Amino acid sequence: MSTYNKIGLAVFLAFGLAACGGGGSGSPSAAATSTNQSSNAAFRDAMPSASAQAVNLTDASAGSVYNAAAYKINLDGKSYKVSDLASDKVTNLVNQEGNETVRTYRQQFSIIAGRFSSEKIGGENLKDDPEMTTAVAEVKNPMVVGLVNGEATQTLPTSGKYAYNGAAFGETEIGKLTYNVDFDKRVGSGSVTGLASSGKIDLLEASIKNTSFNNEIDGTLVTTQGIEGHSNSEKLGKGDYKVHFFGKNAEEIGGAIMQKNGEIGIAGKR
């Protein structure tokens, strides 16, 4: 799998462990749009609530069933309920200084989120001339997908072909995801279009397997069934991708594409 370096995240998500039954939509997702929301205070470390705990399944053939709508995103004391975020749309949660952003995409059974930030360095007074300061440079930390979680599918279909349609989102762009799964052959493949920085991204065919996703945003480890494969971008070349299945009947997928310039969140429904 990808060896790209992960960036530590300063935002934690507290969530209730509410078990939830299935049932979902079979229609394609609505066209993705972007919504901006600003917090009233800067990001800071926040401990999970008492009900929060790691998801670490001993049997990788069965997923974890947690209600995605029960998540709360805490930004320096201000709480955002995932259920209040726009469905099937990208929402930006931005700190007061505007230098850290959590970018989320909520579906009925899952939540996918990435984080990116920037910081300014320099501006110090020079020792030999106190009236002079060093130049100020802005350092940008690329987006890392730090949360892929929700009501993981317990039992995957054993037959049938499903097309999942939804969104792919980077730091500033929103594209379209198309992903096809053949449960007879237990393989999946697809593509992402509409991202100018990457060009078309082919998600190469790979097999369904036991997978895990380390959620850096809330510290959980989700172990379930999904697909891990290689990607190929028109502009950025080779990368990797990972998707998990969500919903009682695998109604949704969610995951990430790892590229050399950062990561892309992907989400779709059938």
Task: Report the distance separating Cα 55 and Cα 63, nearest Å.
Answer: 10
Task: Report the distance separating Cα 116 and Cα 143, nearest Å.
Answer: 4
Residue 28 is given by DSSP the state P
Closest CA to 182 of 154, 157, 211: 157
- pTM for this model (two decimals): 0.72
Distances in Å between the alpha carbon of 183 and those of 159, 163, 268?
5, 11, 17
Instruction: Kindly provide the residue ranges of all beta strands, DSSP E only, lying in the chain, ordered along the sequence.
Output: 13-15, 34-38, 71-75, 78-81, 90-94, 100-106, 110-121, 125-126, 129-133, 137-150, 161-169, 174-182, 187-193, 201-215, 220-233, 237-246, 252-259, 262-269
The two structure tokens encoding residue 103: 């970018």
Residues pairing with 14 in the sheet: 72
Residues pairing with 266 in the sheet: 168, 255
13-116+143-269 CATH pick, 2.40.160.90, 3.10.180.10, 1.20.1250.20, 3.30.70.890:
2.40.160.90
Is residue 12 within 8 A of residue 219, CB to CB? The reply is yes
Strands 90-94 and 100-106: antiparallel
The two structure tokens encoding residue 132: 């002079």
Which residues make Cβ contacts (< 8 Å) with residue 19, sequence separation at least 6?
A: 65, 66, 67
């940008």: which residue's tokens? 140
* pLDDT values of the chain reduced to their tens digit, one per residue, 270 residues: 433 333 333 333 443 333 333 333 333 333 344 444 443 333 333 333 323 333 322 233 334 555 666 667 665 556 777 788 888 999 888 776 667 788 999 999 999 999 888 777 766 666 666 666 666 667 778 899 988 988 899 899 999 999 999 999 999 999 999 999 999 999 999 999 999 999 999 999 999 999 888 888 777 788 888 999 999 999 999 999 999 999 999 999 999 999 998 999 999 999
> For residue 217, what pLDDT is reported?
74
